[in-house]
Amino acid sequence: MLDKNGFKRKRYSDLVEDMTLKVKELFGEDTNLSERSFLGILIRLFAWFLATIWEVAEKVYNSGYMHKAEGIQLDRKAWEFGITRLQEQHAQGMVEIRGSPGYVVEEGTLFETEKGVLFELIEDVALDDNGVGTGSIVCTDPGTKGNVAANTVKIVSNPNENITSVTNPEPITGGRERETDAEFLERYQQTLSGLGSSSTDSIRAELLKLNGVRAAVVIENTKSTPDEAGRPPKSISTYVLGGDPNKIAQVIFKKKAAGIEAYGTEQIEVLDMGGYPHTIGFSWVTEVPIAIQATIYKNDSFPADGVQQIKTQFIKYIGGEDADGTFYTGLNAGETVTVFKLIKQLDKIEGIDDVELLVGIKGQTLGTENIPMDITQVAQISHTDIEVQVV
């Protein structure tokens, strides 16, 4: 039913109860409505189909609200605010190829890792006089499986006498799964302020819409003199983690107020609608690597993959790369790594009686204190820097 308190769906048991009362009202209290009687079977049959209709009605009602909508309804509701779901992406990177001098490695050549992750060369690569060339590759399958570490793409799928070796000097990144409803809703809530313009919140919100941007913070100096950090007067300083530099500069130029300097260590030239160039500055956020040592006291309900679940929960909170190559956004720039909140993440895992936690910056002494971050820093952690001992 729908009233001032909203929509309340009638379930199968509610419908059976209502129909039972109505039948007894019409035919008498002594009417046989057992599960094997004719009327009892008929009531339950109709109640089953009506329960399905009530379920559809509830979904239609919920589709009008962002926090209740799901699937394509969530997509369409978010589209009204200019926000679209992030689709799955193919990981991309560079490879260094060695072989016969002057040989041209053709576009479409396949390389792979020892685990069988395939990558395709997307351009012709001519080997120089030393027999060395570099080219761009893309994973043949979308998703996080294509995010692989440096020096792991070493196999030429179809052996060629003119190619002696191949490797990727840098990690292959950019692969992601299709954004889930929960992730999409969280990003929508973060970007609501982006509907405005010329404010620090709107710039940050718009940056978070960009693929690959995992954290962003915008600081403004409204004074007529440089601030304590050396930022020029009447300027904004944008600090970003991840993303394409040119797209970041475009967003800052589009959202910042006229006459305000966009200050930063990275300088990108952006053209306005009239074709006139403008220099837009921003800075990359400094990543602070975090390390964790956890001692877990378990009971019989502790899951077989409990250690990996623990690592994943820590990474989701702080931000960083999981063992399967998934990148989690985690904390924003300037946010403190809180030991209490780390421990709270373990509430989502069964079978844990107690936990002892040591946290710190990687390479330094670990302890039980919170780890504060400067506004230009963001905490990040890798699954390789989490040590879990189960007792």
Identify residue 334 by its one-letter amino acid code. Answer: G
DSSP for residue 321? E
Q: Cα–Cα distances in Å, from 328 out to 75, 182, 316, 323, 380? A: 21, 13, 5, 11, 9
Beta-bridge partners for 132: 98
Query: Can you spell out the DSSP letters for 85-106?
Result: PPPPB--EEEEEEEESTT-EEP
For the domain spanning 191-284, the CATH number is: 3.30.300
pLDDT for 389: 93
Please count the other Cβ atoms lying within 10 Å of the Cβ belonging to residue 162.
Answer: 14
Averages of pLDDT over each 10 residues, the chain, 391 residues: 86 94 92 91 95 92 84 86 83 94 94 93 94 95 86 92 93 83 78 66 83 83 87 92 90 89 93 91 92 94 91 91 77 90 92 94 94 90 93 89
Q: How far apart are CA 65 and CA 219, in angstroms?
A: 33
Beta-bridge partners for 215: 241
Take residue 282 and report the two structure tokens written for it.
């921003």
Beta-bridge partners for 192: none
Nearest CA-CA partner of 381 in 288, 286, 308: 288
The helix (H) or strand (E) run that includes residue 111 is: strand 110-112
pLDDT for 54: 94
pLDDT for 64: 82
Give the three-class secondary structure for 344: helix
Beta-bridge partners for 133: 97
Q: CA-based diameter of the chain, in Å?
A: 99
pLDDT for 187: 74
Name the pairing type of β-strands 327-328 and 320-321. Answer: antiparallel
| Region class of 368: left (phi > 0), else alpha (psi between -120 and 50), else beta | alpha
The helix (H) or strand (E) run that includes residue 35 is: none
41: Cβ contacts below 8 Å, ≥ 6 apart: 35
Q: How far apart are CA 360 and CA 350, in angstroms?
A: 26
Give the three-class secondary structure for 327: strand
Identify residue 350 by its one-letter amino acid code. Answer: E
8 Å CB contact between 99 and 162: yes
Give the three-class secondary structure for 134: strand
How buried is 64 (Cβ within 10 angstroms: 0-12 exposed, 13-18 middle, 19+ buried)? exposed
Residue located via tokens 């959202």: 255
**pLDDT by residue (tens digit) across 138-187?**
999 998 888 888 899 999 999 999 999 999 999 888 788 888 888 788 77
Sign of torsion over alpha carbons 299, 304, 310, 311: positive
pLDDT for 46: 95
Q: How far apart are CA 5 and CA 16, in angstroms?
A: 24
8 Å CB contact between 216 and 204: yes
Write down how long the chain is.
391
- Distance from first CA to last CA of the chain, Å, rounded? 52
Q: How far apart are CA 313 and CA 257, in angstroms?
A: 39
Please state the pTM of the whole predicted model: 0.56
